[in-house]
Amino acid sequence: MEKIRRTKYKKDQVFWGYLFMLPTVAGLIILNIKPAIDTIIMSFSRSTGFGNMTFAGWANYQKLFADKEVWQSLLNTILYSVVSVPLIVVFSMLAAVLMNQKIKGLTLYRTLYILPVVAAPTAVAMIWKWLFNSQFGLINQLLAKVGIGPVNWLADPNTAIYTVIIVGVWSAIGYNMILLIAGLQEIPADYYESAELDGAGPVRQFFTITLPLVSPTLFFVVVTTIINAFQVFDSIFMMIKSSTDAMYKTQSLAYLFYKYSFILNDKGYGSAIVVVLLVVILIITAIQLKLQKKWVHY
C-alpha cells in the first residue's frame, strides 16, 4: 500500500501550505533559530563596550570551567531538580487520584488547588517571603509553638534552597494535577471493576492498572517538570537577597545567566552559561526519551 502513495503534490496545497506556514517559519527563524545561533556565537565572544563584541575563542568556557560560582550554580540547579521534581510528581499524582473518585465537593477542591497556578509568581514569592519571615512570619511562629526554630528560611545558606523548593512544589502541583486527572479519566472503568472482582485492593489496582495506563501522561508531566525545574528563576530572583551566601548556595544557572547578561552586562559570559544550561537539559531529555521504553506503556 505504501508503494502507491502519491508523490505528486497538488498545486493549490503547495501554495497554501507555504503561505500558511510562512508567518510561523519566519517567526521561528527570526525569534528562535537565529537567536540560538547568535547566543552560541556570543558565547565565544568578549564584550568591548557599547554593545560591540570581538571573537574570544574558548576564553569564556575556560573561565567558566574554572569558575566556582558556575559549578555551585550547576549543583544548586541539580539539587533543586532532584528534590523538587519527585515531590511535584508524587503530590500531583496523589491529588489527581484523590480527585478522580466520586465524592462531593470535587469542583471546590479543584478550584482551590489551581489557585497557585493562576497567581503571578512575583506575588507568590512575596507572599511566601512573608510567611517565611524569620521574625514575624507565620511559619516560624507556628513552629515556635512546638518548640522548633527560629529557622532562618531565606538567609541561611544551607536552608534557602529548600525554602525555594517548597514554593516551587506548591506552585506546580495544580497544573500537573489537571494533566494527570485528564489522563486518569481516559482509563476505562471496567478495568477497575474486573480488578475488584478478582479481589485486588486499591493499592494493587493503583500499581497494576492506574500507573501503567496513565504512564504516557505521567511521562509528559515528568519531562516538562524537569525542564521547568532546570530553568528555575522567578522564585530565586524574588525571594533570596542577591550577593549573599544564601544566594550563592541557591542561585540556578538561569539566574546566573540573567545576572551576567543583564545586571553585570557581560553578555558573552552569560551566553556561555546558558549554552551549558542548554546542553544539560538536552542530555537529560535525551536520557528520558531513551528510558521511557522501560516504563511508559502506549
Partner 1 sequence: MKKNHMLVHVMLILGAVVMVVPFVWMILTSGKTLHESMMIPPTLWPKRFRWDNYSAVWAMLPFAKFYLNTLLLIVGRVFFSVATSAMAAYAAARLRFPGRNLFFSLVLIQMMIPSQIFITPQYMLAQKLGILDSTMGLILPGFVSAFGTFLLRQFFLKIPAELEESAVLDGASIWTIFFRIMLPLVRSGLIALGIFTALFAFKDLMWPLIATTSIEKTTLSAGLANLQGQYSTNYPQLMAGSLLAVWPMIVLFMIFQKKFIQGIATTGGKL
Q: How far is the CB of 206 from partner 1 (least distance, A)?
A: 13
C-beta of 75 vs 98, nearer to partner 1: 98
The minimum distance between CB 112 and partner 1, in angstroms, equals: 4
Q: Residue 26 or residue 75: which is nearer to partner 1 going by CB?
A: 26
Q: Are 266 and 42 in contact (CB under 8 A)?
A: no
Least distance to partner 1 from the beta carbon of 253, Å?
Answer: 9
| Nearer CB in complex with partner 1: 68/105 | 105
Q: How far is the CB of 261 from partner 1 (least distance, A)?
A: 5
Q: Which is nearer to partner 1, 212 or 216 (CB)?
A: 216
Measured from the CB atom, is 210 or 217 closer to partner 1? 217
Q: Name the minimum Å distance from CB 72 to partner 1.
A: 18
Half-sphere CA count of 230, side-chain side, radius 13 A: 19
Q: DSSP characters for the chain?
A: -GGG---PPPHHHHHHHHHHHHHHHHHHIIIIIHHHHHHHHHTTEEE-STT-EEE-TTHHHHHHHH-HHHHHHHHHHHHHHHHHHHHHHHHHHHHHHHHTS--TTHHHHHHHHHHHHHS-HHHHHHHHHHHT-TTT-HHHHHHHHTT-----TTT-TTTHHHHHHHHHHHHHHHHHHHHHHHHHHTS-HHHHHHHHHTT--HHHHIIIIIHHHHHHHHHHHHHHHHHHHHT--HHHHHHS-TTSHHHHTT--HHHHHHIIIIIS--HHHHHHHHHHHHHHHHHHHHHHHHHHHHH---
- Residue number, 75 or 94, with CB nearest to partner 1: 94
Min CB(1)–partner 1 separation in Å: 16
CB-nearer residue toward partner 1: 161 or 276 = 276
CB of 75 to partner 1, least distance (A): 18
